[in-house]
């Protein structure tokens, strides 16, 4: 594994880790993290994929992990920038380094919300979306819906403007989030139509993706209910989409959870499903 920094058009650097396969001209995978999750969380999974003949790249969005400036309260970026600047810069880096290789994307949570906004997403040769959803509160039910409304309408705006960033570590244990990013994300999540009423040409951008997409939902996942996942996958009008729902019972565990899929106890089960998806992408 090698850790590097790549420059971006917005003049801040993105931290990238490369897990290069020994296989000549190996196909490539970019792992797009969940909100407030450092790339290190996916390292074991990335090593597993590298050992299975893929060159894998993880990265921290601007303001997260090794891409975090000091102090965060002085750093300016947005959720849109995470897609159009950060993610895009990683795509360009990987494609320039591996021009003959296919490029596959594995997203977790917000990573799948961002791929439709990545300018070069027409270069994707296959996408696996894990618990990637719309964040709009309309997809939650009952008291959970009220909790999401309180978060998007009150919690995030008030706390973020108080600290000039969102102190997620104190609230949820996740990484702190840049002010511009979390406020734009909350604005999307207050809207039933999510990003599409705010991002110019969003539908056209989503429609550039015409590869196979496999979208996974997880039983009892508070952060990504099935309705929210179904909604986002339906926005990729030109992709060939497949939906798979994972339950704890089929893997003989009590719970999987929003973050559990990438833990090593699923190396011989769920990770093998992902490998099967990747092999299908290679021949499609």
Percent residues over pLDDT 90 in the chain: 95
Predicted confidence (pLDDT) per residue in 79-134, tens digit: 999 999 999 999 999 999 999 999 999 999 999 999 999 999 999 999 999 999 99
Does residue 170 have a pLDDT over 90? no
Residue 175's SS3 state is coil
Predicted confidence (pLDDT) per residue in 44-61, tens digit: 999 999 999 999 999 999
d(CA 224, CA 77): 25
pLDDT for position 274: 98
Does residue 69 have a pLDDT over 90? no
Percent residues over pLDDT 70 in the chain: 100
Whether residue 49 contacts residue 43, with contact meaning beta carbons closer than 8 Å, is answered with: no
pLDDT for position 250: 96
What value, to the nearest 5°, has the Cα angle with vertex 141 and ends 139 and 146? 100
pLDDT for position 284: 78
Q: What is the pTM of this model?
A: 0.97
Residue 25 banded pLDDT, cuts 50, 70, 90: confident
Does residue 24 have a pLDDT over 90? no
Output the average pLDDT for the chain. 96
What residue segments make up the domains of the chain, in order of their start? 2-135+201-283
Rounded mean pLDDT of 19-37? 95
pLDDT for position 223: 97
Rounded mean pLDDT of 131-160? 97
Residue 281 banded pLDDT, cuts 50, 70, 90: very high
Predicted confidence (pLDDT) per residue in 191-214, tens digit: 999 999 999 899 999 999 999 999
pLDDT for position 38: 97
d(CA 70, CA 75): 8
Distances (CA, A) of 103 to 152, 212, 219, 262: 34, 12, 29, 20
Does residue 171 have a pLDDT over 80? no
Distances (CA, A) of 180 to 33, 81, 86, 236, 272: 18, 10, 14, 26, 38
pLDDT for position 208: 97
pLDDT for position 70: 83
CATH no. of 2-135+201-283:
3.40.50.1820
d(CA 100, CA 83): 24
Does residue 17 have a pLDDT over 90? yes
CB-CB neighbours of 156 under 10 Å: 22
pLDDT for position 173: 81
Nearest to 23 by CA among 2, 62, 61, 49: 49
């Amino acid at each position: 594994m090698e850790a590097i920094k790549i420059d971006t058009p917005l003049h801040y650097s993105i931290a990238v880790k490369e897990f290069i396969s020994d296989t000549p001209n190996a196909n490539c995978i970019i792992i797009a993290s969940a909100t407030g999750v450092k790339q290190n969380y996916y390292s074991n999974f990335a090593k597993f994929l590298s050992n299975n003949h893929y060159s894998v790249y993880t990265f921290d969005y601007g303001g997260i992990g090794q891409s975090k400036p000091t102090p965060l309260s002085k750093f300016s970026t947005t959720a849109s920038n995470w897609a159009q600047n950060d993610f895009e810069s990683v795509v360009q880096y990987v494609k320039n380094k591996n021009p003959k290789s296919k490029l596959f994307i594995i997203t977790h949570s917000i990573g799948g919300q961002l791929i439709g906004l990545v300018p070069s997403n027409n270069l994707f040769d296959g996408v696996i979306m894990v618990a990637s959803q719309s964040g709009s509160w309309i997809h939650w039910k009952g008291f959970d819906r009220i909790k999401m409304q309180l978060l998007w309408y009150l919690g995030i705006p008030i706390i973020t403007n108080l600290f000039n960033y969102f102190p997620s570590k104190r609230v949820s244990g996740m990484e702190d989030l840049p002010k511009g990013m979390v406020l734009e994300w909350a604005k999307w999540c207050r809207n039933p139509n999510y990003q599409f009423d705010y991002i110019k040409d969003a539908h056209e951008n989503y429609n550039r993706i015409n590869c196979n997409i496999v979208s996974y939902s997880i039983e009892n996942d508070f952060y990504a209910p099935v309705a929210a996942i179904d909604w986002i996958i339906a926005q990729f009008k030109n992709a060939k989409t497949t939906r798979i729902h994972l339950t704890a019972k089929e893997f003989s565990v009590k719970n999987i959870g929003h973050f559990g899929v990438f833990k090593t106890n699923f190396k011989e089960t769920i990770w093998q499903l992902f490998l099967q998806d990747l092999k299908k992408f290679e021949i499609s």
